[in-house]
Amino acid sequence: MSIALLTPFGGVRTVTGSRFLVEVDGRRVLVDAGLFQGLKELRERNWADFPVAPRSLDAIVVTHAHLDHCGYLPRLVNGGFGGPVHVTYDTGKLMSVVLPDSGRLQEEEARYANRAGYSRHRPALALYTEDDAWNALERLVPRSFDEEFEVVPGMVARFEPAGHILGSSILRLRLSPDGGEPVHVTFSGDLGRQQHPLLRPPAIVGETDWIVIESTYGDREHAEDDTVDRLAELVERTVDRGGKVIIPAFAVDRTEVLLFHLRQLAEEGRLPSVPVYVDSPMALAALGVYREAIDGHAEDVRPDLHGDGSLFRVPRLDEVLDAQGSKAVSAMGGPAIVIAGSGMATGGRVVHHLARFLPDPANSVALVGFQAAGTRGRQLLEGADSLKIHGRYVPVRAEVCDLSGFSVHADGSELIDWLRTADREPSGVFVVHGEERASLTLQRRIVDELGWNAVVPRDGERLDLHVAALPAGAAVPATGSTRGGEVGEHAGRGRDEVPAGAEREGKEMSPDDARRRLAIADHGVLSTVDPDRGVHAVPVCFAVVGDHVVVPVDTVKPKASRSLRRTDNLVADPRASLLVDHWDRHDWQQLWWVRADLRRCAAGTVSPSTTAQLERALRERYPQYRTTEFADLLVFDLEKIGGWVAAG
């Protein structure tokens, strides 16, 4: 049986933690290994066990060197992953900068938490160490742009420039399960903008069957190109007040872009003569990689910049290399520009500068990139009057300026324009790497403006890539995701605000549609009949193979008794029903349910080959079953199936 599956384990309905499992005939490849950042409940997921055993991964492919795409790699290696990690050459060089720095930072934060006593854990621990990061980097296998390489048997990959940061890539996968007809999947990675000052624009989509597209700015448009002018005005205002401009900046690419524009402003006579501090060893190391790439005529660097060694020469630039120098910057009086990591103010030296300079209204903070929910940068963007830093609240009196036009993420219209470069309508588009509103907004635009099938998957959903297409008008490729979008006319309303009758407007589902939804739902409710006590309903795992439905009696989940009521009931009455459903409390137009009427197969009527196929289907569907034996299998004939879906 040919199998080609995509399962997101992060990076869906949130910006961070990109981790996409691609399976081909039982072989497993992870596309990106990102850290979750921002909200506490997201960060805590970095500490949880990965949903599949790291040692079961055959390879990892990383699209670029930002931590939300590569920062989880040391954790996977510590957990037993021992395969190759495919990267572009410059992505590998930048990962050699950011991963050890991430390990050092986490060790420093753990030590600081132990000294200051603000950690809930005793002692505070690092997610991984600098040594762990260096160990992970030994797995890297550098690749050139446009080089085709076999990741595992049945999967060939190719990197193409994405224009987001140096070395960033659009990933092309050609999947050939069992050597059959290939399926082409295109991962956008993080897409850059057409007018990136340093890099070529992203490669076109071209020929593909499926597209996995980011949606960081899927619900917004970048401001007109006055961002550099606004930076110049902010610097002038702040210097006139005698204050400092604090710029939390991503070490990779954002710092380089800022220095490029500051140099231009200086050449135009629009930059006051004040010190410009780059207070980030990681940013300075990344700057060295950029200089090397420009001097070496890297393929994704704009050709007109090749060999230009003056790009980042800003007057009065001071590179701060150590902690003592950083403390000196904080203690220094007078106007200055301070560029420091991290870009969302989640950690790094900029946090100490914010603690020092936020209370003074003479100072300013320039936010020059995306700020994820739950980060200090997002709190500043939303007008917080204080920030919690190192266990205490710091008042925010400094001017805060949104300069997100410096972002190197494509906006909503730029993402749509990129999709238009496809040679034909794809089988479907999976919208990922965005907060829920951004992803759903882009999904709606894809459906409305392009007429394509598009879904926003949910974490852990197994998406079948070996089907011809998402059915036209289908609501889900996996439980909980919708085609026409979850941004309907009632989106965002509470239950009491849904117009009367909205929940009743619907239609019967076709048997084919019902079968498809049943087959890909990740769990359901099985009802059997007790002769004395009536209906007994229980949530179950299941799989569908042809006209058979199998429900395992396993040794994984805890059982109160070895004698299960469902099994006893089926001895007396072989009839059963299986119900799966979906609803969205914000949008009742997304309601649907499927009911399958079943009859347990009599003993001896299911062949050993069919039983083996059913077991294999369960193990492929649920990773927890791959290392355990089943106590029993309840095998049913599918006698009747139907359902209901809200009219959209």
**Among 406, 433, 448, where does a domain finish?**
406
Percent of the chain past pLDDT 90, that is, above it, reads 61
**Residue 94, domain member (yes or no):** yes
Pair (395, 421) in one structural domain: no
Q: CATH number of the domain at 195, please.
A: 3.60.15.10
**Among 406, 423, 442, where does a domain finish?**
406
Q: What is the mean pLDDT of residues 109-133?
A: 82
Pair (337, 369) in one structural domain: yes
Pair (287, 389) in one structural domain: yes
Pair (184, 215) in one structural domain: yes
- Secondary structure in 3-state letters for 283-319: HHHHHHHHHHHHHCCCCCECHHHCCCCCCCCCCCEEE
pTM of the model: 0.70
Q: CATH number of the domain at 296, please.
A: 3.40.50.10890
- In sequence order, the 6+-apart residues with CB closer than 8 A to the CB of 394 are 354, 355, 358, 359, 386, 387, 388
**Residue 484, domain member (yes or no):** no
Which one-letter amino acid corresponds to residue 103? G
Q: In this predicted model, which residue has the larger pLDDT, 437 or 646?
A: 437
Structure confidence by residue, pLDDT tens digits, 169-224: 999 999 998 877 899 999 999 999 998 999 999 999 999 999 999 999 999 988 76
Per-residue pLDDT band at 506 (split at 50, 70, 90): low
Pair (69, 178) in one structural domain: yes
pLDDT of residue 398: 97
pLDDT of residue 540: 92
pLDDT of residue 553: 87
Pair (543, 458) in one structural domain: no
Q: Does residue 274 have a pLDDT over 50?
A: yes
Structure confidence by residue, pLDDT tens digits, 34-72: 999 887 888 889 999 999 999 999 999 999 999 999 999
Pair (414, 401) in one structural domain: no
Number of structural domains found in the chain: 3
**Residue 470, domain member (yes or no):** no
**Residue 475, domain member (yes or no):** no
Across 102-111, 112-121, 165-174, 250-259, least confident range? 112-121
pLDDT of residue 66: 94
Pair (54, 159) in one structural domain: yes
Torsion sign, CA atoms 273, 278, 283, 287: positive
Pair (432, 399) in one structural domain: no
Across 110-114, 261-265, 315-319, 328-332, least confident range? 110-114
Q: Does residue 492 have a pLDDT over 50?
A: no
Domain range for 385 is 227-406
Pair (460, 501) in one structural domain: no
Q: What is the mean pLDDT of residues 141-150?
A: 98
SS3 531: coil
**Residue 104, domain member (yes or no):** yes
- Average pLDDT of the chain? 87
Per-residue pLDDT band at 585 (split at 50, 70, 90): low
Q: What is the mean pLDDT of residues 479-489?
A: 32
Q: What is the mean pLDDT of residues 247-267?
A: 94
**Residue 487, domain member (yes or no):** no
- In sequence order, the 6+-apart residues with CB closer than 8 A to the CB of 234 are 245, 364, 366, 399, 401, 403
pLDDT of residue 28: 97
Q: Does residue 502 have a pLDDT over 70?
A: no
Pair (163, 308) in one structural domain: no
Pair (81, 192) in one structural domain: yes
Q: Does residue 396 have a pLDDT over 90?
A: yes
Structure confidence by residue, pLDDT tens digits, 456-482: 999 998 888 876 665 443 333 333 333
**Residue 489, domain member (yes or no):** no
pLDDT of residue 476: 35
- In sequence order, the 6+-apart residues with CB closer than 8 A to the CB of 95 are 62, 65, 70, 73, 87, 137, 140
**Residue 490, domain member (yes or no):** no
Q: CATH number of the domain at 642, please.
A: 2.30.110.10
